A and B are shown apart, each in its own frame.
Chain A
Amino acid sequence: MKNKRKSLIFSSFGVLILVMLISLLSNCNVSNEIKAKSGAQLWGENCLRCHNNPSPETFSDVEWDVAVMHMRIRANLTDEEAKKIAKFLKTAN
């Protein structure tokens, strides 16, 4: 019983380290095509994957800051993507 719990904790820990390694490794590995994307393009590609594409004029700058952070977490955006999309929404609103 105790051993089982131990192995569960160990395997959880293993997965955790794996996930962290993947994320560390892969961030050095972003292709130039992805790096070159503009905020508008990222908005056009990402923000309609779950719901209709939100129009920039919906919110003020401050509101977009909060909404984009909300979506960064919900939609698993990278730091770079979230920053570019927020900047685009705040200039196009």
Chain B
Amino acid sequence: MKIISILSIILLFFSVNIYSQNYDNQKFEKMNNDIDSLKELIKPGKSKFLLRGYSHSGIVITDENSSFVGGSFNPIFIYKQSDRLMFESELEFELEDRNLNIGLEYANISYLLTKSLTVRFGKILLPFGIFVDRMHPAWVDKFSSKPLGVGHGGILPGSDIGIELRGASYLGSSKINYSFYVMNGPRLNEGDEEPDEAGQLHYDNFPDNNKNKAIGGRLGFLPLSNSSLEIGFSGMYGKVGSGNSQYADVASKLYAIDISYIQNLPFMQSVLDVKAQYSGVITDNANYRNYDNLVNPDAVYTFTNQNSTTFAQIALRPAMVNNKILRNFEIAGRYSDLITPEGSKWASNLNQWEFSLNYWLNWRTVFKLSYRTTEGETEHTEGAESPLGKAFFFHWAIGF
């Protein structure tokens, strides 16, 4: 009797176990099916989209006044249409002289031709040196203002419209990257509209002022296997005068050498970031009308049209210390200079130092406290245009 009851208990135990196992299996299968159908519902298609961008503003205190400035908002649209096709665009909404300026920073299509070659069409940030396409966003730049030579009053190209081939490959443990492009190219200011800027190059050249297209490129070498060092050589050549004018044969050569170095310094528990660039812009000499000569309206003047600009910056962030506050601080210093042609109406010889103490709230949100001092000679010495003197900045920038 005892044996029978023990056996029946064991039997019962097994059958319950088998039943519950079955039940678990069924439940599991159902869950799996549910997950599959959910996956079907939210399955991402090939076409994917990101709306990102950044914004920044701040306060500037100079010898003469103080003002809240900036207030720029730059949305970036990125569409990945397939594994090979992508579109990127950046708009800039900026307040200037109480007006809202809207700019198209870039808008281009990229197509991955091979594993190491991509073609881009449209308006692109030119890979001329490293500032424009790698450092210009306010949340990337470690300083509150741009170095001399960049942007308004500068000599460096920003963006242009055309076609570019770019890519990267390894040579053993070293890496090279390359970019080669054909663009509308710079446009010469011939002096009839803004006589004070005769001889300067403008980079917003669309539609093109001549049939000639500018060609250029950049070659980057990363000799170390951890890619911490990069040395880049850039060049660009094109005719810049209007096709049917006396300036038709005036051409410009632009060149730049850049260097970037990132290194962890374990003994300081810090990351060191060094970046520098030297660039030259040489335009053929030409005669420009001298509008200041009221006696002889046909009087002309000329000058050797050679320009150069440099920047070199160093930043140190104790990113590896344990203290949560301290590791978000960064100190940075930058030297920059700009030399524009003597004898021109926009001659200048300027040099500038900027020092910044930054606090990073996260990898793309930063508060910058900067001090800048600019010395030298320039034609624009008065009013807000003057870059000379000392300035304090408190800026914030957020990338999103």
| Alpha-carbon distance between A70 and B79 when the two chains are bound, in angstroms | 9
Which one of A23, A50, A67 lies within 8 Å of B167 (CB-CB)? Answer: A23
Q: In the complex, which residues 93-146 of chain B have their Cβ closer than 8 Å to any Cβ of chain A?
A: 110, 112, 114-118, 120, 133-135, 139-140
| Alpha-carbon distance between A27 and B139 when the two chains are bound, in angstroms | 34
B227 contacts across to A, CB distance below 8 A: 45-46, 49
- Given A16-B180, A52-B360, check contact A23 B228 (CB 8 Å): no
**Is B48's beta carbon under 8 Å from chain A?**
yes
Interface residue total, chain B, C-beta cutoff 8 A: 56
- Given A52-B363, A69-B86, check contact A16 B170 (CB 8 Å): no
Interface string of A20-62 (1 = CB under 8 A from B): 1011101101110110000000000110111111110010001
How many A residues are at the interface, by size bracket?
35 or more
Interface string of B2-17 (1 = CB under 8 A from A): 0000000000000000
**A79 CB to closest chain B CB, in angstroms?**
4
Residue among B88, B170, B173, B227 with max Cβ neighbours from chain A (10 Å)? B170
Which one of A15, A23, A34, A65 lies within 8 Å of B217 (CB-CB)? Answer: A15
A63 contacts across to B, CB distance below 8 A: 48, 50
**B365 CB to closest chain A CB, in angstroms?**
10
**Is A12's beta carbon under 8 Å from chain B?**
yes
**Is B260's beta carbon under 8 Å from chain A?**
yes
Chain B contact residues: over half helix, strand or loop, or mixed?
strand
Which one of A69, A73, A78 lies within 8 Å of B169 (CB-CB)? Answer: A78
Contact B225 A23 (CB under 8 A): no
A80 contacts across to B, CB distance below 8 A: 115
A8 contacts across to B, CB distance below 8 A: 215
Contact A66 B78 (CB under 8 A): yes
Contact B48 A62 (CB under 8 A): yes
Residue among A50, A54, A74 with max Cβ neighbours from chain B (10 Å)? A50
Q: In the complex, which residues 27-50 of chain B have their Cβ closer than 8 Å to any Cβ of chain A?
A: 44, 48-50
**Is B297's beta carbon under 8 Å from chain A?**
no
**A11 CB to closest chain B CB, in angstroms?**
8
Interface string of B348-368 (1 = CB under 8 A from A): 000000000000101110000
Contact B139 A51 (CB under 8 A): yes
| Alpha-carbon distance between A67 and B400 when the two chains are bound, in angstroms | 12
**B100 CB to closest chain A CB, in angstroms?**
27
Q: In the complex, which residues 150-196 of chain B have their Cβ closer than 8 Å to any Cβ of chain A?
A: 165-173, 175-180, 182
A22 contacts across to B, CB distance below 8 A: 169, 176, 178
State the 7 A-B residue pairs at the shortest beta-carbon distance, nearest first. A76-B177, A26-B169, A79-B115, A52-B363, A76-B168, A23-B116, A30-B170
